[in-house]
Structures are given as structure tokens and as C-alpha cells.
Amino acid sequence: MNPIARLIKKQEEEFWKQSSPEELWRRILTGQEPQLVWGRHFFKHIPTDPRCKLCNAPFQGIGAPLMRLIGKGKSKLNPRFCQSCLDVSPVGGAEIELSMVFADVRGSTALAEKMDPMEFSRLIDRFYSTATKLFIQTDGLIDRLIGDQVIVLYLPGLAGPNHAAIAIESAKELLRATGHARPEGPWIRVGAGVHTGRAFVGKVGQEGVTDFTVLGDAPNVAARLSSSAQAGEILVSEAAVAAAHIVADSLGMRTLALKGRREAMKVWVERIAPIVDSPGRATPE
């Protein structure tokens, strides 16, 4: 190991000795350890994807050799993280309030049947890369890109105190980026759910299978909102609307009976659709 990487590793080891892992994770996840935020802002401008999903250190392109030099090469435990983010930090995390965006491709089973496999995989890849770019720019933590679903976490420690408003805006941006506002329609049909709530966020697993994840009821709610959304729709929970301090009058309201829940849930519906002239509207001379 080179001297710079050794120095950084030593500093990180010292950091984790200061207090209990839970207390240190809480500080990182809630934004009381600003180094991580600076790092993410700095690293996201260095080419190229793929990157460490926590600190944005690039694993390819011109930035990659530099990252390896400072101990931010790909982790052997999980190649979606760098060594310094995943290997040095202890297993653990903290229960914090966060916002989540879940987005699902609508009708992907039918699409897969209709298209040839190569064509279908190119379409899903385009969806992943559109979503990745957008969510990294808005300081989301991409938790999963699986099948036809994207899961993004907006943590106060990475996205700041306005995480709920940013999550809602980013979901709208994803629907615009997939063409839901275009008159010719979207190039892929997507529905999304946004929820704000308390959940456990942290590093789970054991040697060799470590991952960074979110656990609890809140991610289940976000997943169900997303699966209930139609193409072009974002279902936003009341908790997310309240946390975002937005006036929800402009949004439609819907009551949803969510699977596995006794009480129906009130959700706000944001639709991204082409603007059409309403009949009877005065036309300029």
C-alpha cells in the first residue's frame, strides 16, 4: 500500500475508534460529518461511472487510478463501493429519518415478451443510466437497480435537510427524463412512489457479503406506493408532503388500500403528462 493510502486508512481507523459505531453512523447519515458530503460533491465531477455508491469515487476513466492511489479502489466485499467506504467502516448503522424514491417500469413483462432480449436489455440499461445520472446529481444514494426497479435513498447526511423536497423533485425529473411530458409519449413507461419516514440505514452482512441498505416499514411503504402508481404518476405519502413543506393543493388526492395494512393511506398524486390545450380555451389572435 502506498503512503497516501496508508495515511487515509489510518485516519479512517482512528475515526471509527472515537465512539460507538452506531453513534458514528448516525453522525455520518444525518450530516454531522461533513467530509462525506464534500467528498461526494467533489468526486461526482471526476469521470467516469460506475462509482462508489456512497462517496461517488469513480472506478473507471481518468479518475480511477487516482482513486486507487488514495485507497478508494473497488471494494472486494461489494464492487459497488470503494474500499475506504465499505471495508474500513464497521457493520452497523442508525435509525434515522430519510426520504425514499422507488420507481418501477410499468408493463415490463409484456415488453420483454414483445422485444428481442438484446433490445430489451438495451432499453433497461438506458433506463438505469438515465436514473443513475439524475439521482447522483441530486445527491441520492442509489440503493438498488434490480430488474425493472430503481430504489434511491435521500439521507439528510448526503442530500441535506430538504431531502423530502429533493426526493419529490427527483422523481418528477425521472418521469420527465423518460419522456412522460413529451407529446409523443415516454420511451419507457415508469411509475414512482415517494415516502419519508424513519428506518434503519447502514452496513449489514458479514465478511464477503457486506452491503449498505435500508430496513424497516418505511421502505415497504415506498415500494407499495411505487407499485400502485400508474405510468406517468408519482404517489407521494402525506409524510413526504409534510416533510417537504409543499402546498399539495396542486396535486390530486387518492386513498389507497395498501396490501398488508389495516388502514387505507392518503396519498398525493403528481402526474407528469404532456400539456394539452383544454377545449374552449381562448386562442390568441
Interacting residues toward Zn ion by CB under 5 A: 52, 54-55, 57, 82, 85
For residue 218, report the phi and psi dihedrals to the nearest 5 degrees.
-55, -45
CB of 206 to Zn ion, least distance (A): 20
Between 79 and 147, CB nearer to Zn ion: 79
CB of 36 to Zn ion, least distance (A): 9
CB of 280 to Zn ion, least distance (A): 56
Between 186 and 202, CB nearer to Zn ion: 202
Between 59 and 154, CB nearer to Zn ion: 59
Instruction: Using the CB atoms, write b or e for 211-222: b if 16+ within 10 Å.
Output: bbbbeeebbbbb
CB of 138 to Zn ion, least distance (A): 18
Nearest to 270 by CA among 133, 174, 134, 144: 174
DSSP assignments along 174-191, one per residue: HHHHTTTTSTT--SS-EE
CB of 273 to Zn ion, least distance (A): 38
Residue 140's SS3 state is: coil
Burial of 284 (0-12, 13-18, 19+ CB in 10 A): exposed
Q: Given the C-alpha cell 428506518, which residue does it identify?
A: 199
Between 81 and 102, CB nearer to Zn ion: 81
Between 28 and 222, CB nearer to Zn ion: 28
Decide: 202 and 43 in contact? Cβ < 8 Å. Answer: no
